[in-house]
Amino acid sequence: MLANYHADNIPTRFSHPLVDEAKDSLMNAVSYLDAKERADVLRACHFGDMAHIKDKRKSGEPYITHPIAVAEILAGFLLDRDSIIAAILHDTVEDTEVTDELVASEFGETVARLVDGVTKLKSGNMSKQQSQAATFHKILNATLIDPRVLIIKLSDRLHNMSTMDAVREEKQKSTARETLDFYVPFARIMGLNDIADYIELLCYRNLNPVMYNKFNDKLLQHGLGRNFQKIEISTYLQNLLGHLNLKGHVQVLDNRTSMYRQFFKNRGQANRLIRQYDFEVVLEDIGACDKLAYHLIQKFEIADRNIQDNIRKPLAGGNQSLSLIYKKDYNFIKVTLMTARMKEASRLGVLGNSKNDISQSVIQASLRNMKDLAAVEGEDAETSLKVINELMSYLHERKIVCYSPQGRAYELPRGATALDFAYAVGPAVGNIATGADINGEHGKLGLVLADGDTVSIDIDKNATPKADWLGFVATNKARNEILKFLKRLPHDQKEHYGKEALMRALKPYDKTLDDLSEQDWADILAWRGVASQSDIFLQIATGTLLPQLVVSRLFSEEVDVADGAEITQTKHLLAGIKGVEITFAKCCNPMYGDSIVGHLSARQGLTVHRHKCYSLENISVENPYQVIQLNWKSDIKLDHTNSVGQLHFPATLKIHAMLNEEQMSQAIYELRDLNIGIEQTSVKADEKSGGGVGATFIQVVVRSRAHLEEGIMKLRQVLGYPSIMRLYQMPT
């Protein structure tokens, strides 16, 4: 195939008119490169054309038109010569006789490394899941070395997603799901938001064409009105700049991705979504941003919840801006204020040149977390699967960004504590932490942090980790470092640490070890299946047993005697919790699959709450050590198709539509068909609207969060895709 490749004699016409068309378009797009670099790009096109000379796309087009189109996407970001050439050659090593060595000799080691980074691993004897995980793992490691690998892969995915008409429907959906699960959140973490937006929109189109077209039709119906509103609002904002003597420009943003995301993820009513408008105002400096923001806040009485100042403290992904949302004439207007440098950073993310920007500091915090995930010994399929499972959890978890007093950013999962922050700074700090100052106020290490908090850790060089810390830390890094310390202790010190941890756990309830009777100890020893108090202390010191659970056992009046494998009650679904009194909170109605925590009290034992339950807010501040992290057993398979003898959880749904009798009957039929029980229904009109607008409430019984989500999706399909919310409780 490469016999017709001549580096010094590039033909004026390539193998096919479509290839010539693609090549000419690319050469126009790379006009920003110098003459020698453009010559190398042209040579790469010829090389790729010859390498793929026998290859065709599903549509019948010459295959090389795809990688050339990928390179043109990168040219839109004004990327360098090596990135452009790597994009042209990105499938040569995987699909042709071309080798890494040949690419390196023709175009340089950097190009060869980039091509290798985006090349899929050969599956060999691996399962499909293992092969996918190994490829993701390879892309992750390559990206951490050179972020250009990711944007090449994203551009490849963008072009593939936009040309999938010739691909079978199942493949379209699986590719869209894979892209939404891995590539889109990965891109956003790296700050590559522009390309992520385009890919995400294409994912929705391929994932569910019917749902996509439903909302697209809505946008087309209101297209003229939306265009009028955009012009009117942007004109007002531009005139306002002149009135305030500010230099800058207003841009109408394409907010389709945001609207489709909300529609697909059931986060808004279609009739409200089409009244959302996004504008970007680029100003000279931060002072100008503040001045314009102050004027808009005063004029439109914008509530604090609709003000997001991420100029001083950027979001995860490095997004640095000040955004305001206000309502005017039934329209919801979002205005994002930023400087030119912030705009450039938001466009290029990790590829940006200014490494000193605060936005880059946040991206670097994400990179540190991903490097920790990737730093696992071994390159086998099982190792890759473990790493990618953890990475998927990381990419999809809600994140907060907190700062040291010096302004260094640390990215943490939502629900992380001051102690998690201490270990994010480093084990040398976490291991000797004694307290924390949060936004200038002293707090305990177990206090849950909020996005944007500034945290200073109090340390004592004589302090050491405590076994009871394991009950409230939220990050694996903190947990692993605490366990590492405890496991290194000599046997006698382990016993001492466990004893002290149990004493601290008893203290909030005005109890000491001396208060425990012989009967109490006999019960605890029988519960844990050990012979002595020393064994209990050792279990606590090695992380096998939380001291808080010992306290809960002492307060338990009704003790479950089921063995570890038997699951006959909902509490048996909890991991690592056995033999203590457990109740599920009525204030938030947690169910299997929710993120959960446990609240320990002398009166009720261990109560399971949803992670963000409002009733825990004061407790988390005043007595954070009484709230412990809980997890569900991960290997449980609940049968959603069988309603007999199954565990169940209550939930309340609010449908943003007043269903008539026929619609209600249809809704009940569809839910029961999915083995979802119906407890109660009601339809309530909004009194403020005069009775024409309202909502429908349905109290249901389900097996799990996934079961409930299945029911919500079915209801949206049959009812015309209204917004459906899960409430904490049934309204009175």
Active-site positions read 94-95
DSSP-H helix ranges across 146-249:
148-162, 169-178, 184-189, 193-207, 209-221, 223-243
What's the Cα-to-Cα distance from 107 to each of 52, 80, 101, 139, rounded to whole Å?
17, 13, 10, 21
604 vs 520: CA distance, rounded Å: 18
* Residue 584 token pair: 């599920």
How many Cα atoms within 13 Å fall on the side-chain side of residue 173?
7
Name 160's Cβ contacts closer than 8 Å, sequence gap at least 6. Answer: 66, 175
Tokens linked to 43: 């040579």
Tokens at 139, concatenated: 């892309």
Q: Quote the CA–CA distance of 362 and 717 in Å, as a whole number.
A: 39
Amino acid letter, 366: S
Run of H or E including 280: strand 276-283
- The whole-angstrom separation of Cα 240 and Cα 408 is 36
* CB of 343 closer than 8 Å to CB of 364: no
Q: How far apart are CA 593 and CA 613, in angstroms?
A: 15
* Residue at token pair 């090349």: 119
Decide: 475 and 423 in contact? Cβ < 8 Å: yes
- Amino acid at position 22, single letter: A
Instruction: Please report the DSSP string for 638-664 in residue order.
Output: --TT--TT---EEEEEEESS---HHHH
Parallel/antiparallel/unpaired status of strands 694-702 and 649-655: antiparallel
Give the whole-angstrom CA distance, residue 285 versus residue 255.
Answer: 25
Could you tell me how far CA 696 lies from the centroid of its own chain? 30
Reported residue count of the chain is: 732
Which tokens is 594 given? 């929710």
**Cα dist. 420→2, 160, 425, 437 in Å?**
56, 40, 9, 14
E strand or H helix at 137: helix 128-145
- CA distances, 286 to each of 163, 311, 395, 437, 726 (Å): 42, 8, 30, 28, 39
Task: Name the token pair of 413.
Answer: 């999962």
Q: Are 718 and 211 in contact (CB under 8 A)?
A: no
Distance CA 174, CA 157 (A): 13
